[in-house]
Structure 1
Amino acid sequence: MGRGRGGSRTQRRHFRQNRENVWKRTKPDPSSESNNENNGGDPSWQPFATQNPAFEEYYKEQGIVAPEEWDLFMEVLRKPLPAAFRINSSSQFCSDIRNQLESDFMISLQSEVSEGGEPQPIRPLPWYPENLAWQSNFSRMQLRKNQTLERFHEFLKLENEIGNITRQEAVSMVPPLFLDVRPEHFILDMCAAPGSKTFQLLEIIHRSTKPGSLPDGLVVANDLDVQRCNLLIHQTKRMCTANLIVTNHEAQHFPGCRSNKKCSSGAEIGTELEPPISQLVFDRVLCDVPCSGDGTLRKAPDIWRKWHPGNGNGLHALQVQIAMRGLSLLKVGGRMVYSTCSMNPVENEAVIAEILRKCGGSVELIDVSSELPQLVRRSGLKKWKVRDKGQWLSSSKDVGKYRTNAIVPGMFPSGRSHAESVEHSGSMEQEEKHENGENGNVEDALQSSEDAVISANELDEEVSSFPLERCMRIVPHDQNGGAFFIAVLHKHSPLPANQGTANCLEGDLDSTIDEPLVKLPTQDTEDTNGLLASLADDTDETLTEAASEAELIEGEPDGAALGPDASITSESNVSEATQVPGDGAADPKKTGGKRKQLQGKWKGVDPVVFFKDETVINAIKTFYGIDESFPFNGHLVTRNSDTNHVKRIYYISKPVKDVLELNFSVGEQLKITSIGLKMFERQTASVASCAPCAFRISSEGLPLILPYITKQILYASPVDVKHLLQYKSIKFSDFVDAEFSVKASGLMLGCCVIVLSKGGKSSSDPIQVDESTIAIGCWKGRNSLSVMVTALDCQELLERLLMRIETGNGLLETKDEASNAEGDDDMKDVERNGDEENATAATEG
């Protein structure tokens, strides 16, 4: 979805301040009687103006919708956008959540159907597979303010925070579905923040994996702004994946990472026999480019005031650059989806036509009209005009001589410059003379003259020769949603050498990756985010999908609140080997007594380091009895090269490991802000010094390593698990199951895992893990057992547990909460430490 970040200083300020609701405005002057009358006597709220004559004139002329649909189109655009969300298909509670929606909320909310709205309060989106995406008949404002919707709203907030659902605009879910992703694919999300589509891609590659296994593919999620990368990391960390790399680059200059070496040092690290990869190319590319964002008017109504045709004109060149870079990084035989949340053909069909011209026959715009048949979509436009300085331009010959740098030929349907158009017209006349011959009769000559007049008229209104009708345009009134544009491209062969790829080898990347692929207009300037803001037409700031989609996450910390990501600044790197030459040693006098953080190649980003401390690794293996079949060597990384100061150890999958080794071999061209899955964390509570193992298993990494743990793990009855989740800490003597109490007290001091017993399994039975297994990390103290799970996770697990089991008398028995909560003082430290671990999750990579 388009971000339209160029010149958007207002948006960035609101993003940092976590603006609560875009349908609110600052309070007017209470003394103004006219304001009070217009707002029904309420001076605290005033709606945005939902009209813009320039907007209406522009899109009427472009023919986005038929004239008879115009009134309905505008009526829907002026209404708030219904809330939508998607169930995480890889979550173990996916079926539970879907059943709860179908059998509970669809019925209980029926009385709250809004007037003039849809007959159902919530409904599954018919075009999304397996009822995994839902749309509410209520806007975000209604969900927040309506007391009768409170239970449903709390459900959405909790499940979103846990990661079981993702709140996302309905049309934003469409592009990943047309990528045809498989679990083994390497996928690049070029402009990924805020991360809802990235999360969707991760769901798809993880969906068919079994517990303890990882897919053979990966997702590289990129964004150019560090703060937006923090939001992206916070979104995707809910997925708990080891198959994700988050990078921080300009999309149009994303590194190619091609190695000339035939071998890699990775063979010494890993146990796999496959040859290392020599270049980073992708099976699928999602090119969801920055755009003017007028398709999001329903959730970002301030765009009504700011909308101007120059917004789209100024972004056209950047969009072409990003799309061309995506195609150059795409494997031959791969698929790329280009998308925006703009309705402007200059940002949509014009960009597709331009890249097809540049790529020749190597890239095809494919017809996907048979896919997702229930999705209502419209064909792309074959003709359009360009609006500049209050004038309509039908072709490049109409562009004034001082505007040729701002309004380029690629913005028009034919893509031809004025000189090319004249040459083309002359060649047509010569062909006609040759066909008629010198002795042609008068009738033929007259007919030829009439044809020439028709051709001249057609040149005034250009029509594209490419099959742009294969593009998709989604408009708001078709499905009560937002607007979107999608085009699906297939790469048949390497791109022409002069368009960014070498023609000699399949998928080879141009060595001059840092050079712009398209010359940008000289009127464009670069703002502080590195994006291009057009000075043409005095464009105003633009709101974007990124900021407004971020606000879908209720109560989510903003960029400033998130702070620097833990993977970026969490650990002070004390290795001199990674210090930038010339930085010198840290001087306490100059740093105010604080140790200066040493930098790796990328300023402000801690380096990624393979963790090879055999003493620590063996201690972890021995303490938890981790089976040898679990691949450890070469799969553990950290952001600190000093073993004594490592706080977190991350686990990476085989494909991520291959990419990381390639990145090392090419001089760390990738600026990695987050990588891998947090697997182990150093226990810092005072009691931890007595534990045999200093590292506990992270709650994020537990599902992956669970099938391989043979020690420090026990089955517990449903009632004991319920009490643990309720009271957080329980003395061994207070457990209902006496056998479990004895087994638990016999565990070694430190981290342990408690698994919910099914079918009357005893605590001494061998642990068997499947998709339905519920397990929680705990700390075994001297006299008690304490959960190491956040309050939100406890609440979610408790609700799911109560839904799965029959609550007989035994389960309803309660103990004195104060007594059960009592434990060793050091155990309370462990519990607090566990909450701190998860409370800082938003800033961890």
Structure 2
Amino acid sequence: MGGNGKRKHYNKSRSKRPRQLGAKKYDENGQLIDDRNTEAGAKLGYKDIVRENKNFEEFYKAQHICPDEEFNDMIKALQLDLPASFRITGFRSHAKSLLNVIKGEYFKEFTDFQAKGGKVVVPTCLEWYPDQLAYQLNVTRKDIRREEIYFKLHNFLVAETESGNTTRQETVSMIPPLVLDVKPHHKVLDMCAAPGSKTGQLIEALHQDESTLPTGLLVANDADNARCYMLTHQAKRLQSPAFLITNHDASIMPNIYVPDPDSAEQGKNKVMKFDRILCDVPCTGDGTMRKNPDIWTKWNPSNGANLHGIQFRILKRGIELLEVGGRIVYSTCSLNPTEDEAVIARMLKETAGTMELVHIADSLPGLKHAQGLSNWVLADKKGTLFKSWEEVPEDCQNLVRPYMFPPPPGQETDNLHLDRCIRILPHQQNTGGFFVALLEKKALCPWEKQPKKDRANGKEKSATPDANGEASATDDTNGTNKEGEDKTEEPPKKKPKNVSGFRGFREDPYIYLKSDDPIGPELTNYYGLKLPVELFLSRCKDESKKNNLYFTTKAVKDIVENNTEKVKVINTGVKAWTKCENKGSECGYRIAQEGVLMMLNHITERKLYPTKQDMEIMLLNSDFESPPEIASMSAELRKQMENMNTGSVALIYCDKDKFGSELKVEIVGWKGNKSVRAYVPKNERVHYLRLIGGDVTKFEKNKFEEKKMREDAAGSEQLQEEDNAGAEQKDDKVEESNGGDDDAKKDTQQVDNN
């Protein structure tokens, strides 16, 4: 859904393959030939992207981002397709079991095939990623889809990614959340969060202690309304109640207000400051050329200068929202120092010692990287290089600004410690290019300390938007600090196009249940719910219709209820309960599978503990009309259900997996009068069957075998047709031969008669 609230209609014709191209073509190795490299494709104007750009090479050679003898290796690496990489979701209790499945089944198949002389690439563990939960496969995604040896791994990754147990993510993209070192008590902000792979890592870090709910939270923001819904889809898989998605321009992110526990005045709020902030800003993305080769043709040296301003403003706003003692990561997938070190150097100078770069290389053991640059050059669109502001011609001075150049050599430059930034270059470990810097806030920044009068009349004038989002002269009085008066005012905003001040689709309200809501006793008595009912919300304008109830932590609730008109919340809460009318249950709500991992720790009733055989029977049965009979279950499970009435149940399987690790599988089910079923989507059924060591052949399809069967069938039909044609020709010859004999007999008879 776009920012104007109108639906975009998808043009189906775009997905159709042009008839002129004919059938797909494969080379002698069975590799699909790119249409741009075929004769038919050439006639249609399909041309392969030329992965060369003279300006690009000259610009980066002048930057000395790597030793001269390695430069050609870096360019060659950028010209190759990006290898595939993935990670296992870290906060799940069965992450270790899933890792055992991957190693013991999929990777083992590769090593066995390799031992027999087969040609296959075995995934390598990323040693700098914690607990061996991330891997890189040094073949491209295209190769994985095209080669039969990888088909099982491909099917596995697709299914597990859909259910949220693995994430296919570029290797270098995993780094920024790791260096933030998020703990469960931290208040975390992801300023430019979509599409959400890094956001997922932050959620995992918040939930690293599964025995308790985090006291911290994560606010994931993105300026693009449509991408926020993509982010929602990614986050829902992780089932976190300590998470919310907002839709704002990160450079003018509004203050978020929460109750002030230290104030004697009831109902007084304060500006919430964050302990950790991820600032992965929009960039030119030339570090992603391996997966986005069209950048080769579009790249020019001035692109970085065009984005420097917005990158700096986003970082500055992030620092304003950061708690003293907190840390913020600034990262880009660009190699251009104008977007990287130039932004950091400019910020360090403006903050005048209140921000400091932190060493991060030691926190990533085994990661090959280069240090941040202390000297760089700029260029115009044509590729003309400038070493200083004095060299910039007047017609380029609107684009290239003085603050983009490196500080002059000396004590000032040394104090910036730009070498503490890290650059990941493509040739170092076969990845994309990336830049990461970690900054710590030592004290309030100079403009945060300024008295209100100075700010209103001078250097850093700003205004706080009113309830409608329009700039006003009001100023909050919260967030003071002993080291100076911290006003944390918001940058001025443009006048909104609508009354609410929000762009895009207007979300349904978030309505939390009251403490005296009758749903509370109903859930408590039936499920033994231990959570306060006030932590559950509904999303319907009609408060009488509570079809779904969502669970959030108290910290998230405080934000939602105190920022209704200031913050546009796109999504929050994990689905906990779903209404189930006329099902014969004493309770009108059943447990939702979408939130089972978070809810089962907070209920004491309606829990069943099936055997492995019971779980396998229920997971393999997907016939809604004919669920498994209770009589087919083990005696142990039947005994547990003897005195249990009809309704929703939690099915919990605890055992050791076939590799000896502790395993706990939790799913939702329904106990009827004579049957019991699992309420689990198909892709999750496959996941749970894998964990318990069940049979998953019913769900796996080998497209290569299917293709071979089709070809064999087609060959058999063709052979049969040829046999039939041969038989028909033989019959014709026999008939001709028989016809000749008859004619001869007639001629003989005629002679005799004569």
TM-score, normalization by structure 2 = 0.77
Residue 414 of structure 1 deviates from its aligned partner by: 2.6
Q: Give 1:756-795 correspondences, 5 Å limit.
A: 756=653, 772-795=663-686
Contact 1:120 / 1:137 at 8 angstroms: preserved in 2? Answer: yes
Contact 1:383 / 1:464 at 8 angstroms: preserved in 2? Answer: no
Relative distance call for 1:266 and 1:661 in structure 2 (3 A) is farther
1:35-89 Cα offsets, whole Å, 9 max, x none, are 9998366849864211111211211122222221122111111111111111111
Counterpart of 1:278 in 2: which secondary structure?
A: strand
2:246 alignment partner in structure 1: 247
Residue 739 of structure 1 deviates from its aligned partner by: 5.5
1:577-604 Cα offsets, whole Å, 9 max, x none, are xxx989xxxxxxxxxxxxxxxx999851
Q: What amino acid maps onto 2:545 in structure 1?
A: H
Residue 638 of structure 2 is aligned with which of 724, 734, 741?
741
Contact 1:112 / 1:121 at 8 angstroms: preserved in 2? Answer: no
Contact 2:502 / 2:568 at 8 angstroms: preserved in 1? Answer: no
* Cα distance in 2 between the residues matched to 1:675 and 1:265: 30
* Cα distance in 2 between the residues matched to 1:383 and 1:373: 26
Residue 304 of structure 2 is aligned with which of 305, 312, 316?
312
Residue 156 of structure 1 deviates from its aligned partner by: 0.9
Q: Give 1:501-580 correspondences, 5 Å limit.
A: 505=481, 510=487, 512-515=489-492
Relative distance call for 1:718 and 1:791 in structure 2 (3 A) is same
2:441 alignment partner in structure 1: 491
Contact 2:332 / 2:436 at 8 angstroms: preserved in 1? Answer: yes
* Cα distance in 2 between the residues matched to 1:317 and 1:15: 34
2:105 alignment partner in structure 1: 104
Residue 194 of structure 1 deviates from its aligned partner by: 0.7
* Cα distance in 2 between the residues matched to 1:292 and 1:607: 37
Contact 2:510 / 2:537 at 8 angstroms: preserved in 1? Answer: yes
Q: Which runs of 5+ in 2 are unaligned?
A: 1-6, 24-32, 448-458, 463-476, 698-754
Q: What amino acid maps onto 1:314 in structure 2?
A: N
Counterpart of 2:563 in 1: which secondary structure?
A: helix
* Cα distance in 2 between the residues matched to 1:140 and 1:648: 38
1:538 alignment partner in structure 2: none
Residue 404 of structure 1 deviates from its aligned partner by: 3.0
Relative distance call for 1:581 and 1:168 in structure 2 (3 A) is closer
Relative distance call for 1:511 and 1:468 in structure 2 (3 A) is closer
* Cα distance in 1 between the residues matched to 2:365 and 2:10: 36
Q: What amino acid maps onto 1:625 in structure 2?
A: G
Counterpart of 2:256 in 1: which secondary structure?
A: coil
Q: What amino acid maps onto 2:393 in structure 1?
A: G
- The answer to whether structure 1 residue 725 and structure 2 residue 619 are counterparts is yes
Q: Give 1:363-762 correspondences, 5 Å limit.
A: 363-390=355-382, 391-414=384-407, 466-497=416-447, 505=481, 510=487, 512-515=489-492, 604-612=506-514, 614-626=517-529, 630-664=530-564, 668-683=565-580, 687-688=582-583, 690-728=584-622, 730-738=627-635, 740-741=637-638, 743-744=640-641, 746-756=643-653
* Cα distance in 2 between the residues matched to 1:655 and 1:283: 14
Q: What amino acid maps onto 1:354 in structure 2?
A: R
Counterpart of 2:362 in 1: which secondary structure?
A: coil
1:229 alignment partner in structure 2: 228
* Cα distance in 1 between the residues matched to 2:650 and 2:182: 34
Residue 321 of structure 1 deviates from its aligned partner by: 0.1
* Cα distance in 2 between the residues matched to 1:171 and 1:293: 13
Relative distance call for 1:499 and 1:359 in structure 2 (3 A) is farther
Counterpart of 1:614 in 2: which secondary structure?
A: coil
RMSD value, Cα: 3.9
Moved more, 334-343 or 631-640: 631-640
2:145 alignment partner in structure 1: 144
Counterpart of 1:314 in 2: which secondary structure?
A: helix
Residue 141 of structure 1 deviates from its aligned partner by: 0.6
Q: What amino acid maps onto 1:637 in structure 2?
A: L
Residue 784 of structure 1 deviates from its aligned partner by: 2.0
Residue 266 of structure 1 deviates from its aligned partner by: 13
Residue 175 of structure 1 deviates from its aligned partner by: 0.9
- Provide the identity percentage: 35
Q: What amino acid maps onto 2:601 in structure 1?
A: P
Q: Which runs of 5+ in 1 are unaligned?
A: 1-11, 269-275, 416-457, 517-525, 531-579, 583-598, 760-769, 813-845
Counterpart of 1:701 in 2: which secondary structure?
A: helix
Q: Give 1:181-260 correspondences, 5 Å limit.
A: 181-210=182-211, 213-258=212-257
Q: Give 1:79-90 correspondences, 5 Å limit.
A: 79-90=80-91
* Cα distance in 2 between the residues matched to 1:68 and 1:108: 39
Relative distance call for 1:30 and 1:698 in structure 2 (3 A) is closer
Larger radius of gyration: 2
Moved more, 225-234 or 465-474: 465-474
1:281 alignment partner in structure 2: 273
Relative distance call for 1:326 and 1:38 in structure 2 (3 A) is closer
Contact 2:21 / 2:35 at 8 angstroms: preserved in 1? Answer: no
Contact 1:648 / 1:680 at 8 angstroms: preserved in 2? Answer: yes
1:361-413 Cα offsets, whole Å, 9 max, x none, are 10011222322231111111111111114232222223333443322222111
Q: Give 1:19-98 correspondences, 5 Å limit.
A: 39=37, 43=41, 47-98=48-99
Relative distance call for 1:332 and 1:15 in structure 2 (3 A) is farther
Considering Cα pairs closer than 8 Å and 6+ residues apart, tell me whether 1 or 2 has the greater RCO: 1
1:350 alignment partner in structure 2: 342
Residue 704 of structure 1 deviates from its aligned partner by: 2.5
* Cα distance in 2 between the residues matched to 1:203 and 1:679: 19
* Cα distance in 2 between the residues matched to 1:383 and 1:119: 43
Residue 609 of structure 1 deviates from its aligned partner by: 1.7
Relative distance call for 1:311 and 1:145 in structure 2 (3 A) is same
Q: What amino acid maps onto 1:216 in structure 2?
A: T
Contact 1:608 / 1:639 at 8 angstroms: preserved in 2? Answer: yes
Q: Give 1:286-297 correspondences, 5 Å limit.
A: 286-297=278-289
Q: What amino acid maps onto 1:752 in structure 2?
A: V
Counterpart of 1:48 in 2: which secondary structure?
A: coil
Residue 325 of structure 1 is aligned with which of 317, 322, 342?
317
* Cα distance in 1 between the residues matched to 2:100 and 2:461: 49
Q: What amino acid maps onto 2:481 in structure 1?
A: L
* Cα distance in 2 between the residues matched to 1:234 and 1:784: 33
Residue 705 of structure 1 deviates from its aligned partner by: 2.6
Q: What amino acid maps onto 1:324 in structure 2?
A: K
* Cα distance in 2 between the residues matched to 1:202 and 1:110: 34
Relative distance call for 1:146 and 1:282 in structure 2 (3 A) is same
1:519-558 Cα offsets, whole Å, 9 max, x none, are xxxxxxx9xxx9xxxxxxxxxxxxxxxxxxxxxxxxxxxx
* Cα distance in 2 between the residues matched to 1:166 and 1:680: 26
Residue 218 of structure 1 deviates from its aligned partner by: 1.1
Residue 673 of structure 1 deviates from its aligned partner by: 0.6
Contact 2:258 / 2:271 at 8 angstroms: preserved in 1? Answer: yes
* Cα distance in 2 between the residues matched to 1:16 and 1:340: 33
Relative distance call for 1:30 and 1:312 in structure 2 (3 A) is farther
Residue 17 of structure 1 deviates from its aligned partner by: 8.9
* Cα distance in 2 between the residues matched to 1:738 and 1:179: 50
Question: How many residue pairs were aligned?
Answer: 638
* Cα distance in 1 between the residues matched to 2:649 and 2:34: 61
Residue 356 of structure 1 deviates from its aligned partner by: 0.7
* Cα distance in 1 between the residues matched to 2:265 and 2:673: 43
Counterpart of 2:676 in 1: which secondary structure?
A: strand
Contact 1:258 / 1:509 at 8 angstroms: preserved in 2? Answer: no
1:439 alignment partner in structure 2: none
* Cα distance in 1 between the residues matched to 2:209 and 2:437: 27
Contact 2:669 / 2:677 at 8 angstroms: preserved in 1? Answer: yes
1:462-497 Cα offsets, whole Å, 9 max, x none, are 978732111111100001111000111111000112
Relative distance call for 1:199 and 1:15 in structure 2 (3 A) is farther
